[in-house]
Amino acid sequence: MSKYSFLDDYSEGCHPNILQALVDTNMSQQTAYGNDDYCRQAKDLIREHLCTDDTPIYFIAGGTLANLIIIASALRAHESVIAVSSGHIELRETGAIEATGHKIITVPPVDGKLTVEAVESALTSNSHFPHMTRPRMVYISNATETGTVYTKAELQALSAVCRSNNLLLLLDGARLASALTADINDLTLQDIAALTDIFWVGGTKVGALLGEAVVIPNPQLAIDFDFHIKQRGALLAKGRVLGLQFLELFKNDLLFELARSANESAQKLAKAATDNGFQLAATTESNQIFLILPNSLIEHLQERFEFYIWEKVDDKSSVIRLVTSWATDESQVQLFIEAMAAANEAA
């Protein structure tokens, strides 16, 4: 019997609605390169959430690709991006941003998040012009790389510091659906469009086979954006594959429903952990859970489950990371909880 994986939120294929739509539309002839009916309809559905008719939207096959296209399109060669040192573009993209010629200026995160103070400090320490790059963009992720979620007040403050310092604000939304359905969230997609210059809504981690939707509220950043999609190799011949998925995900807000379900599984696991006397290494705000467990229990759990051992706490315990998703099997969550409870009783 193989193990059940809580390793990530992209271990399965896609939501059944998407599969069905692929089947239903398969032999329809469509214009290539994203000029098909499904892309058009998906964009309209997304724009309903933004309460606009014409915000430019593009679909791109992956997050690193989206980030590098956005940054390469938006910045002149001497301009740089401010990000937290735990940011995806800094830590997990193999120098993709630098490969387009741009420096990333890193600052320490607070709870995984970028703060106004950190932006101001980056501006101060990067002002010896022209011997330093000109900071021109701020990059944040929501949810963050450690699963925390920005509040409206936090995003408003970041947006304000950006606007008063001529900085563009980019929001990486690989797990945006998860953030927007978190218990502590008070932001809407419309807020995000109002407060950022460009952002993207991830599909891959919330039930799509692949695909992210780049939304460009700042019209200046939309100029010739499609050239950059093509130049970086991201213009799919069958763009319909991306459009169709976002059409399904935004139909009846399926995307948010799936994210909410993932968050609820995370809350169950987090609550069960504390109920059984185990500590959380970080507050569970979206679909990532960081638990401190005894090593003996970890070894026991590893017989039936896959998950990351995040870091050592002391000789007897470690932090593990669990990720829940749209596809999480609730019976497996239950088994995991029972194993924690049994361990607690035995102790």
Site for its own copies in 24-83 (CB under 8 A): 25-32, 61-62, 64-69, 72-73, 76-78, 80
Q: Which is nearer to its own copies, 61 or 343 (CB)?
A: 61
Q: Which is nearer to its own copies, 130 or 331 (CB)?
A: 130
Q: Assign 3-class secondary structure to the chain.
A: CCCEECCCCCCCCCCHHHHHHHHHHCCCCCCCCCCCHHHHHHHHHHHHHHCCCCCCEEEECCHHHHHHHHHHHHCCCCEEEEEECCCHHHHCCCCHHHHCCCCEEEECCECCECCHHHHHHHHHHCCCCCCCCEEEEEEEECCCCCCCCCCHHHHHHHHHHHHHCCCEEEEEECCHHHHHCCCCCCCCHHHHHHHCCEEEEECHHHCCCCCEEEECCCHHHHCCHHHHHHHCCCCCCCCHHHHHHHHHHHHHHHHHHHHHHHHHHHHHHHHHHHHCCCEECCCCCCCEEEEEEEHHHHHHHHCCEECEEEEECCCCEEEEEEECCCCCCHHHHHHHHHHHHHHHHHC
* 12-20, 177-185, 268-276, 313-321 -> range binding its own copies (CB under 8 A): 12-20
Figure out which of the listed residues 13, 108, 219, 277 binds its own copies, where binding follows CB under 8 A: 13
Binding-site residue total for its own copies (CB under 8 A)?
76
Is residue 248 at the binding interface for its own copies, with CB under 8 A as the rule?
no
Q: Which is nearer to its own copies, 47 or 240 (CB)?
A: 240
Is residue 91 at the binding interface for its own copies, with CB under 8 A as the rule?
yes
What is the Rg, in whole angstroms, of the alpha carbon atoms belonging to the chain? 21
* 49-57, 96-104, 159-167, 289-297 -> range binding its own copies (CB under 8 A): 96-104
Is residue 94 at the binding interface for its own copies, with CB under 8 A as the rule?
yes
Figure out which of the listed residues 14, 149, 155, 297 binds its own copies, where binding follows CB under 8 A: 14
Beta-bridge partner residues of 312: 318
Q: Of residues 185-204, which lie at the interface with its own copies (CB under 8 A)?
A: 204
Site string (205-244) toward its own copies, x via CB under 8 A: x---xx-------------x-xxxxxxxxxxxxx-xx---
* 91-99, 190-198, 266-274, 316-324 -> range binding its own copies (CB under 8 A): 91-99
Q: Of residues 312-331, which lie at the interface with its own copies (CB under 8 A)?
A: 327
Q: Which is nearer to its own copies, 34 or 217 (CB)?
A: 34
Is residue 304 at the binding interface for its own copies, with CB under 8 A as the rule?
no
Q: Which is nearer to its own copies, 133 or 144 (CB)?
A: 133
Q: Of residues 107-146, which lie at the interface with its own copies (CB under 8 A)?
A: 128-134
